[in-house]
Amino acid sequence: MFAVVLSFEGESEEDLGAGIEHVKDEVIPALEHAGGLHGWWLVDRDAGRRLTLMVWDTQEQFDAGMARIQAARAKDPDRRRPGPSSVARFEVYGSVTGGG
């Protein structure tokens, strides 16, 4: 199990909007049926900052999910999609889910 963290720092209001629309229109629909994924897309509008956190069970599931995103992007190659300021990969060594 591993996590991929993408940071988007210092975005303008327009970049925030374009990034959020891209995630809602292309990324989430491409991944909503992906196996082995837990994903969160976060925004701090006041700071112009977005964060993506995806936790994947396997590399194969990650690769398949990224291929689905690329296919969605290919349908509208000229769409504005602000790129991340950093991308990092982490091994997941522990987790907890609230039980009640």
Q: Say what the pLDDT of residue 79 is.
A: 92
Distances (CA, A) of 19 to 1, 7, 49, 75: 26, 12, 10, 17
3-state SS assignment for residue 80: coil
Query: What token pair was written down for 92?
Result: 């997941």
Q: Say what the pLDDT of residue 51 is.
A: 98
Q: CA torsion sign, 77 to 81 to 87 to 89?
A: negative
Q: What is the mean pLDDT of residues 10-33?
A: 96
**How do residues 5-18 score in pLDDT, each as one tens digit?**
999 999 999 999 99
Domains in the chain, please, with CATH? Answer: 2-91 (3.30.70.100)
**How do residues 44-100 score in pLDDT, each as one tens digit?**
999 999 999 999 999 999 999 999 999 999 999 999 999 999 999 999 999 998 876
